[in-house]
Structure 1
């Protein structure tokens, strides 16, 4: 594959051209391309991924509401309505908006409704899992179910199980579970998140994106604790971090094709391989990333978020140079 240009770009659709077309249509206030795209999306993992991106673009508009008004019996429109509701509730919570609770209940109602009209679809259950992080005190009974393993904390395990029944090892469902664990706060919570990520990865088959989960927890740990390059670099050369990085490479990356991989997962793996000085392997992952870029995890290495792309380019070129033999090897 020919090498991509030196300056990557952030594109929420990444290499998914049909999704990019639907997003362009959505931004002009039209929903027909979104409807067609979802009708033609046959795999649940891709349905989950595409609806998440579409909802982020639609949350500030009335496009999905217009679709549902035009086609009130559309199960796909109902699921997208839940998606948009969740996106709005989470944004309100981040901005500490006074309507957060109201938007949360609206989103929960929409997700419950979507689960009834689209009973085989995992996305309504992913939506309910996403809302669980708004209840860090676990006041809702469904957010304090007993874990399937004694060492794991109580949480929205029933919601995770429902998503898993419809799409085993659903990537976003497990990331939403991680976000719930982060939201609980307090000392030791990151250790619980790390235990959960390892548990999920240990159960996942080869090729599952869940093998990358432990790398996200590591990024979250150093994001909270330091945020300085020196600390991050020391972090990745530690044996347990290097082991998790190797595992993600061999159990996920080497068992998947380009179209199956999340750009966010690829960026986290490239970042970890580069940080652990596995430059030849990092170069392979950078090639898979192509001309795209995701701000996390690179933006956590700088207080200037605009510099994140520069750090990405430096890491890519360092990895390529070592892989080609034109730079120093570790």
Structure 2
């Protein structure tokens, strides 16, 4: 039998194979070691409100699951654009950001030019939670549900008014979405924040509003406001007798504020996979669920692919609403 001769090429090839094989355990260990230091979780809004609750509940559980501190860093300004621009350009593998309906699905259509690209500059990790929007009216308006409210608005175009926390706010979008779906005209009165608009609504100077559940549940329960519909796909446990908008003649209608976890586009795929699994588990942990449910927020915890599809659908939902209402930032 002839024994093959090992020439220089064979030896080099064998050496390269051995070297690569020897390197595999170290590469795997390096990937598994992420995160190797504290993780910064940027929130593009001021402290307080649902964004803070979702971010801190998630960060606390991620700290346990990832074995490194995950700390929340609030960086408000420019409707979230300031923080989004910073994180889009960062390159350290240890900075994440809280994505939001505003920064991902609304800002692209209300600002003439954004300092970031919501679809190219970020890697979707997981949809964390949704916060229901509630449609409320002053109790003495004379309507008991959404059907009666829409009938009144159609009978008196422009006679009814609604308040919002400002142009481009979630409440503004929610009511304009309802107006588009119901083919009604209701006068918009923008305020500088949720508090002032609720004061005028309960004082009888406004007729209606769409507000995140945490801000109005207490007033609904005490009878200071009447909830005529929820923007959620299903009825809320906190308001089991209040039907959804979809139930009252508008199939497929959904209006919720939502929050998700994003990483810069250069985030390593292996890190993204590990983080997504941890995030989906984090929001379902008992302590996180307790924090979220206290704020009427609904935990989700999706895969990166599902979150990416969700963002695309939300952009498709809000583009025509914003164009029809000609919404511009304050």
Tell me if both proteins adopt one fold, taking TM over 0.5 as the criterion: no
Higher share in strand: 2
TM-score for both structures, normalised by structure 2: 0.25
Higher share in helix: 1
Rg (Cα) greater in structure: 2
The structure, 1 or 2, with the larger RCO (C-alpha pairs under 8 Å, 6+ apart) is 2
